[in-house]
C-alpha cells in the first residue's frame, strides 16, 4: 500500500511549487488540476457538456474551453460550481485511484486545491498545507493570473477558510521567506515522509 501525502493550500500559496520540489526529489506527484485539465481537453463528450452548459462565451476562437471565463462563472455562482464539480469530481477520483494503483514511488503526493473541500483527503495518510497570508495570496495571483481582485476574493471565499485548513493539517509550511528556505522545508518533510512510508 502506497503512503499518500495530500498537498493543498489556498490559491497563490505555492502548492504547485512545492509539488515541483517533491518531483525533483524523485517523488511522484498526482496533480488534480492537471487531471481535470486533461480530462476536459481529451474527452469530447465532456467538452461538449461543459460548453453546452456555459454557453458560447465558454469557447475560444480555436474551439478550446475558455478556462478564465468558466473560472469566473463558477466562482461567482454556487449553482454553476456545483454542476461542474458533480460532473468532474467522480472522473477525477477514478483517475487518481488508477494513478495510485500504478505508482512505484516511495510515497506519493496528491496535490489538490480542493483536497479538504472534497472527499479527496480520504485517499491520504497525511495532509500538508502550504500557507501564506491573504494579502500575499492576492498579490501573487494578480501578478500570475492577471485576474481582478474581485475574482480572487470569489475564489478564496469558495475555498475552505485558511484557519480551518491549518487545523486539519498534519504539517504546515509557511511560504513567506526565500525560495531556498522553502526548498529546505520541503526537503526536511521529504525525509520524514520517507521514514513514515517505510513504517506503513
- Residues 97-111: pLDDT tens digits? 999 999 999 999 999
Name the band, by pLDDT with cuts 50, 70 and 90, for residue 183.
very high
| Segment 3-41, tens digit of pLDDT | 999 999 988 899 999 999 999 999 999 999 999 999 998
- pTM to 2 decimal places: 0.91
Residue 1: predicted pLDDT: 73
Residue 166: predicted pLDDT: 94
| Segment 56-83, tens digit of pLDDT | 999 999 999 999 899 889 988 989 999 9
Where b means 16+ CB within 10 Å and e means fewer, 144-158 reads eeebeeebbebbbee
pLDDT at 142 over 90: no
Please state which architecture CATH assigns to domain 4-199.
3-Layer(aba) Sandwich (3.40)
Alpha carbon 117 to chain centroid, angstroms: 11
Name the band, by pLDDT with cuts 50, 70 and 90, for residue 143.
confident
Domain ranges of the chain: 4-199
Q: Tell the residue number behind the cell numbers 469530481, with chain if given.
A: 89
Q: Which of 175, 138, 140, 174 is nearest to 154 (CA)?
A: 138
Amino acid at each position: 500500500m502506497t503512503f499518500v501525502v495530500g498537498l493543498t493550500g489556498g490559491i497563490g500559496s505555492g502548492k504547485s511549487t512545492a509539488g515541483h520540489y517533491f518531483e525533483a526529489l524523485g517523488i511522484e506527484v498526482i496533480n488534480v488540476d492537471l487531471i481535470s485539465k486533461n480530462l476536459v481537453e481529451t474527452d469530447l463528450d465532456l467538452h461538449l457538456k461543459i460548453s453546452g452548459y456555459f454557453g458560447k462565451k465558454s469557447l475560444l476562437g480555436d474551439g478550446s474551453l475558455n478556462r478564465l471565463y468558466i473560472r469566473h462563472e463558477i466562482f461567482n455562482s454556487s449553482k454553476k460550481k456545483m454542476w461542474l464539480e458533480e460532473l468532474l469530481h467522480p472522473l477525477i477520483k477514478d483517475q487518481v485511484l488508477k494513478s495510485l494503483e500504478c505508482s512505484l514511488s516511495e510515497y506519493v503526493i496528491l496535490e489538490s486545491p480542493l483536497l479538504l473541500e472534497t472527499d479527496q483527503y480520504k485517499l491520504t495518510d497525511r495532509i500538508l498545507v502550504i500557507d501564506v497570508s491573504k494579502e500575499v495570496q492576492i498579490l501573487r495571483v494578480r501578478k500570475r493570473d492577471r485576474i481582478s481582485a474581485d475574482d480572487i476574493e470569489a475564489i478564496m471565499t469558495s475555498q475552505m477558510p485558511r484557519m480551518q485548513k491549518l487545523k486539519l493539517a498534519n504539517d504546515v509550511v509557511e511560504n513567506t521567506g526565500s525560495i531556498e528556505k522553502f526548498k529546505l522545508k520541503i526537503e526536511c518533510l521529504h525525509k520524514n515522509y520517507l521514514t513514515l512510508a517505510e513504517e506503513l
